[in-house]
Structure formats: C-alpha cells, structure tokens
Structure 1
Amino acid sequence: MKHVLIAATLLASSFVAKAQHQSDAHTLTVNVTDLKTASGAVYISLQDPTQKAVQKQAVPIQKNNTQIVFQNVPPGTYAVRLFHDENNNKKMDTGIFGIPKEGWGCSNNVKATFGPPKYDAMLFTVNTDKAITIHIN
C-alpha cells in the first residue's frame, strides 16, 4: 500500500510540473510587412541564441502582408529569420556574391552591411505573449 501511495504522489506531481511548464509557454506573433508580391511562401525560423531552429514554418502568401504565429514558446532569448520564396522553389535564390534575389528579414529589422546581419543584434527576449513586426528587405 505504501508503494502505491508513493507512486500516486509522484504521478500527481509530474502532472502539476507539466501543467506549470506549459503555462510558462508563450505565443509569439510575427507580422511580416512589405512583401514585394502576393505569391509564394514565407519560410520562417525561430532560433535560440546558438542559432539552432526551435520552430520552423512555411506559410503561403495571399497578401503583401502576413502573420505567422509560434505557439508554446518557452521564456528565453530568440531570433527570427525569414525569406519570401516568391517563385515557390523552397529555397532562397541568390545572385552573384550570394546577394539575395528574394525578400528576406530578421527580428529587430537588423540590416545587412557588407555581409549577413549580425546575429546578436537580432536577439530579443520572450517572457510574455509577444508580437513583433519584420519588414522585408
């Protein structure tokens, strides 16, 4: 009987811990503006400080602005990177020297100067439900 009581207590505490962890998760809404066309898809990645993708989405475009929602985002520091795949070939098309031919953007609307934008400048904190806006370059 003692073992059953201990097992029941451990099981109940694991459910409480899981419920508390899920309640700590937040929603991140990314508003994407200034898309050049209303065709193709936006490929977007939510990344941790080590540049590892935490969540990814591909969202078809129907307007020149779109909204992407990431659910169950734990509190922490993140960056968002995206590109507008205008021709639906599922990749970022680049020209000479790797310069993007299709629209792209990142959190904090960091600009590229003689190379890709600085990753540290893209980082932001999620500690509540949050909305950010990214303007396509």
Structure 2
Amino acid sequence: MKNVLLIALLVAGSFVAKAQHQASAHTLTVNVTDLKTESGAVYASLQDTNQKALQSQAAVVQKSNAQLVFQNVQPGTYAVRLFHDENNNKKMDTGLFGIPKEGWGVSNNVKASFGPPKFDAMLFTVNSDKSITIHIN
C-alpha cells in the first residue's frame, strides 16, 4: 500500500511540475524595422547562450517592417539573429569575403566591425513576455 501511495504522489508531482514549467513560459515578440525593400521575408533564430538555435521563425515583410513571435520561451538569456531574404531564396546571400548582400540584424542592435557582431553583446534576458525591436543593417 505504501508503494502505491508513493507512486501516486510521484505521478501527481510530475504533473504539477510540468504545469508550473509551462506556466512560466513567455512570449517574445521581435519587431523588425528599416527593411530596405517591401519584398521577401525575414528569417530569425532564437539562440541560447551557447549559440544553439532553439526556435526559428519566418515572417512576410509588410510596409518595410516584419514581426516574429516566439512562443513558450522559458525564463533565461537569449540572442536573436535574423536576415531579410529579399529575393525569397531562403538563404542569406553574400558577396566577396562573405559580406552580406541582404539586410541582417541582431538583438540589442549590435553593429559589426571587421566581422560579425560579438555574440555576448547580443544577449538579453527574458523573465516575462517581452518585445524587442531590431533595426536592419
């Protein structure tokens, strides 16, 4: 009888922990501005502190802006990287030396200088529903 009661308590506890885990998830809204054209789509990646992509989103460009919404984001530290796929080929077009031909942006609007922006400078904290704005370079 003790084993049945113990198992029942463990199962009930796991359901409560799962419900609390989901309840703490947040929504991250990314507003993208300053797109150079009204064509194409914006592709974005939400990354953890190890630069691992956790979620990816795409949004159609509307009036030189786009909005991407990441759901079920757990409290923590993240970065967002995105690019404006102006020609709809679903990839970032680059030129000589890998320099982007299409617009791009990162969280905190970190600028590049002689290479990609520093990842640590892109990091921000999510501990509630959050909205950020990224300007296209």
TM-score bracket for this pair, using the shorter chain length:
over 0.9
2 CA distance for matches of 1:14 and 1:4?
16
2:103 paired with 1:124: no
- Post-superposition Cα deviations, 1:114-133, rounded to whole Å, max 9, x if no partner, equal 11111111011111111100
Partner SS state of residue 5, structure 2: helix
What amino acid maps onto 2:61 in structure 1?
I
Q: State the Cα RMSD in Å.
A: 1.1
TM-score by length of 2: 0.95
2:85 paired with 1:66: no
- The aligned counterpart of 1:76 is 76
- The aligned counterpart of 2:30 is 30
Aligned residues: 137
What amino acid maps onto 2:111 in structure 1?
K
- The aligned counterpart of 1:40 is 40
C-alpha contact (below 8 Å) 2:94/2:101 kept by paired residues: yes
- Post-superposition Cα deviations, 1:37-63, rounded to whole Å, max 9, x if no partner, equal 121111100001111001111222233
2 CA distance for matches of 1:61 and 1:121?
26
C-alpha contact (below 8 Å) 2:47/2:54 kept by paired residues: yes
1 CA distance for matches of 2:8 and 2:38?
55
2 CA distance for matches of 1:133 and 1:86?
19
CA offset at residue 2 of structure 1? 3.6
Partner SS state of residue 115, structure 2: coil
- Post-superposition Cα deviations, 1:57-110, rounded to whole Å, max 9, x if no partner, equal 122223311111111111111100000000011110011111111000000000
CA offset at residue 9 of structure 1? 1.5
**Correspondence list, 1:67-106, <5 A:** 67-106=67-106
2 CA distance for matches of 1:16 and 1:112?
45
- The aligned counterpart of 2:49 is 49
2 CA distance for matches of 1:44 and 1:63?
18
Q: Structure 1 unaligned segments of length 5 or more: list them.
A: none
